[in-house]
C-alpha cells in the first residue's frame, strides 16, 4: 500500500515540473542567476498572484522570452525593469521601486507600527493611572486595617 502511495505521489508531482519552461536559459551561471531573479520578481499580469517564473500561461512565457532577449542584448537589470514598467506599469513588479507614487507602500508599514506603538503607550499609561486591580487592592486594604 505504502509503495503504491509513494509511486502515486511521485507520478502526480511530475506534471508541474515539466509544465514550466524555466530550465536553463543561459550557459553562463551569472546570466542565469540574473534571469531567474528577474523572472521571479515580475508579476504574471494574466494570473495575478503568480510570478512569471511560476506561471505557464503564454503571456508569462512571452515575457520570459523578452527578458531573456534583453539580457542577451546586454541590458542591465534596471533596463529590463524599465522595459516592463513602461509597458505594464509598476504593478508588474513584486518589489515596487521607490518612487513618488510607490513611496506610500514603503513607508506605510513603519507609520502603522508607530501608530500602534502610540496607541499601546496611551493604553498602558491609562491602565497605570487606574486604581490597582482587586487582589492587590484587597491586600493593601487588609494591610492598612491592621
Residue 7 near residue 50, CB atoms below 8 Å:
no
**Residue (14 or 124) nearer to other proteins, CB:** 124
Minimum distance from CB of 11 to other proteins (Å)? 30
Minimum distance from CB of 125 to other proteins (Å)? 12
Q: Which residues bind other proteins (CB under 8 A)?
A: 45-46, 48, 58-59, 62-63, 66, 85-89, 91, 119
Minimum distance from CB of 17 to other proteins (Å)? 25
114: its cell numbers: 508607530
**Residue (9 or 89) nearer to other proteins, CB:** 89
Q: Taking CA 50 as the corner, what is the angle to CA 20 and CA 89, rounded to the nearest 5 degrees?
A: 115
Minimum distance from CB of 63 to other proteins (Å)? 7
Q: How far is CA 69 from CA 20, 35, 91, 135, in A?
A: 18, 10, 22, 73
How many Å apart are CA 49 and CA 43, to the nearest integer? 7
**Residue (5 or 130) nearer to other proteins, CB:** 130
**Residue (87 or 141) nearer to other proteins, CB:** 87
Q: How far is CA 113 from CA 19, 90, 116, 119, 124, in A?
A: 42, 25, 5, 10, 16
Amino acid at each position: 500500500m505504502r509503495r503504491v502511495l509513494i509511486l502515486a505521489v511521485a507520478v502526480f508531482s511530475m506534471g508541474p515540473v515539466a509544465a514550466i519552461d524555466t530550465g536553463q536559459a543561459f550557459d553562463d551561471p551569472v546570466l542565469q542567476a540574473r534571469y531567474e531573479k528577474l523572472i521571479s520578481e515580475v508579476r504574471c499580469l494574466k494570473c495575478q498572484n503568480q510570478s512569471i517564473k511560476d506561471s505557464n500561461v503564454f503571456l508569462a512565457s512571452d515575457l520570459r522570452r523578452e527578458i531573456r532577449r534583453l539580457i542577451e542584448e546586454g541590458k542591465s537589470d534596471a533596463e529590463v525593469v524599465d522595459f516592463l514598467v513602461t509597458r505594464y506599469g509598476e504593478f508588474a513588479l513584486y518589489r515596487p521601486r521607490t518612487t513618488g507614487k510607490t513611496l506610500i507602500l514603503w513607508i506605510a508599514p513603519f507609520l502603522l507600527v508607530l501608530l500602534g506603538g502610540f496607541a499601546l503607550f496611551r493604553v498602558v499609561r491609562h491602565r497605570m493611572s487606574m486604581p490597582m486591580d482587586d487582589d492587590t487592592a484587597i491586600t493593601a486594604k487588609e494591610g492598612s486595617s491592621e
